[in-house]
Chain A
Amino acid sequence: MALTGVGADTPQFVGFDNFVHIFRDGEFLNSLRVSLTYLVFSALIGQAGLGLLLALLMRRRNIVFKSILGAIIVAAWVIPDVVAGFVWSAFLAGGPQSVLDPGLLNTIFSTFGLPRHAWLQEAPMTMVVIANIWRGTAFSMLLYASALESIPQELLEASSIDGANIWASLRYIILPLIRGAIGTDLLLITLATLSDFTLVYVLTAGSNVNTELMTIYQYRQAFQFYQIGYGSAIALLIIAAGAILSLIYTRILRVDL
């Protein structure tokens, strides 16, 4: 279907015109850049990095503390996408000119005598990245925590007797042992982030060119401008991007899936 022109009911064969057109389409290239930025900062760096950090730090903490902290982080992850979008809209609401009541973040800012900001207009990309880190970190954290549990305590003790500091045991023992979990995690969060639509759509009402992900762009092309064929071509490119990235991860980390 990606090879047809306008109109879903009466497809016409247009060859590779859609694909030729895509790579000259500035808006598509913009959405590709947005999607990759979103993927790298919110998922690969944010979720995976923060998730690993949390999993490492939460070992050997007080059990009650750990359960409460874990439950809070997981709550952000299990609530539906749309709800997460509302939660963040409310949290960031109310700029200096806004008629709405200030959200919590701006209230906190005013309390400390700082100026209020219209966060989602002034720094949309940063805000959706932070929102997605908030939303998705739990998954990476749970995966890493379960992988860390399987590392025998003796290995770490032996290394510390041999004089390894924290960084050395992280670099030479922990990370190599959880390589498989890292591969699985990167793969799954990449797929989830590439096909993400709702959180950004709800937060920015889909209208901000700075945060127009490929999924949002294909949606607008297909269902607002009725270019179903063109939208489908973009969808296939999203799939292709997912396939390529999956292959790269499995090669680099040498994990068998």
Chain B
Amino acid sequence: MVRRALISTLMYIFLTVLGLFFLVPLLWPVLASINPSATLAVKWPDHPSLANYTTILTNGVVIPPFTNSAIMAISTMLLVVILSGLAAYPLSRFQFRFKNALMLGVLFASALPILALVTPLYAMYVSLNLVDTLQGVILFFVASGLPFSIWLMKNFLDSVPYELEEAAWIDGASTFTALIRVVLPICAPGISVVAVWSFLGAWTNFFVPLILLQSQELEPASVNIYTFFGSYGQVNYGQLAAYAMLYALPAVALYTLVSRFFVKGISGGLKG
């Protein structure tokens, strides 16, 4: 009994130490963002205030990049959800020639580090006049997110029994009504996982807009916060931290919203 309690205590101590490893680096942005005279040092501010937040929100620095990020992330999310839904429904419900080959192709594409493709695509974008446009970036995000999303979506749809739809048809529902009234509500958790996954992919990505966008007014928050950091001789760390906090907020909030389904969705999605 004593031995068991000892082991249990040791485990709590060990886990607490690990927790501190994860917690301690996060202290700086939190404390610096409420400290108007912040430096890189971590300390409790002498006069804690929200001045950093109000400054960057009112001086017009962060609103345009946030708008760009939101445009890209929301468009990517909508397109990915609609397209992957449209692709996944027949893949889940119908038998047709080359279906297996198609599924394997989708699976193979989702097992590639597609983000690395942005360099080869750049040359193509130059000839298509898509460089330095938000549409171009959105197209890339949609294309790179689709394989995995189709795969996820198909597995979520597979879990909805076909009989439910058939029952709805017998009760007089059209194919479309059955989709909206029966399949969609059951799939809502799955769809929300795909939506959040694609939104976050576009919201947090730095590499793709860095390469495809040149105009400063098109910069999303990810690139803008990086140039914000470098563009002043004297970095205002408090404002940088506040900017980082604001930029991280939607990611944290959205993840929290779907966290219950998230891991099951992702792992179940791949096991298929």
Contact = CB atoms under 8 A, between A and B. Distances in A.
A18 to B, nearest CB: 11
Interface string B217-249: 000001001100100000001001100100110
A252 to B, nearest CB: 15
B24 A104 contact: yes
A173 interface: no
Interface string B193-204: 000000010011
A134 B111 contact: no
A72 B18 CA distance: 10
A81 B204 contact: yes
Given A1-B120, A243-B112, A257 B270 contact: yes
A238 B252 contact: no
A57 B203 CA distance: 33
Interface residues of A, number: 80
A88 B22 CA distance: 11
A241 B116 CA distance: 11
Which of A74, A79, A90, A223 has most chain B Cβ within 10 Å? A90
A198 B116 CA distance: 12
Given A79-B248, A87-B28, A102-B41, A147 B116 contact: no
Chain B interface residue number, banded: 35 or more
B5 interface: no
Interface of A, helix, strand, loop or mixed by DSSP: helix
A44 interface: no
Contact of A104 (B42, B126, B203): B42
A188 B270 contact: yes
B243 to A, nearest CB: 9
B206 A82 contact: yes
B18 to A, nearest CB: 7
A152 B39 CA distance: 51
Interface string B249-272: 001100100010011101100111
B21 A134 contact: yes
A61 B116 contact: no
Contacts of A57: 11, 14-15
Interface stretch (A3-11, A20-28, A114-122, A155-163): A3-11
A201 B32 CA distance: 23
B22 A239 contact: no
Contact of A8 (B27, B108, B122, B200): B122
A189 B1 CA distance: 40
Interface in A68-104: 68-69, 72-76, 78-83, 86-88, 90-91, 93-94, 100-104
Interface of A: 1-2, 4, 8-9, 11, 50, 54, 57-58, 61, 65, 68-69, 72-76, 78-83, 86-88, 90-91, 93-94, 100-104, 107, 134, 137, 142-143, 145-147, 180-181, 184, 187-188, 191-192, 194-195, 197-198, 201-202, 214-215, 218-219, 222-223, 228-229, 231-232, 234-236, 238-239, 241-243, 246, 255-257
Given A1-B121, A82-B225, A87-B28, 9 more contacts: A2-B120, A68-B19, A80-B204, A83-B29, A87-B29, A103-B41, A134-B22, A198-B222, A201-B206
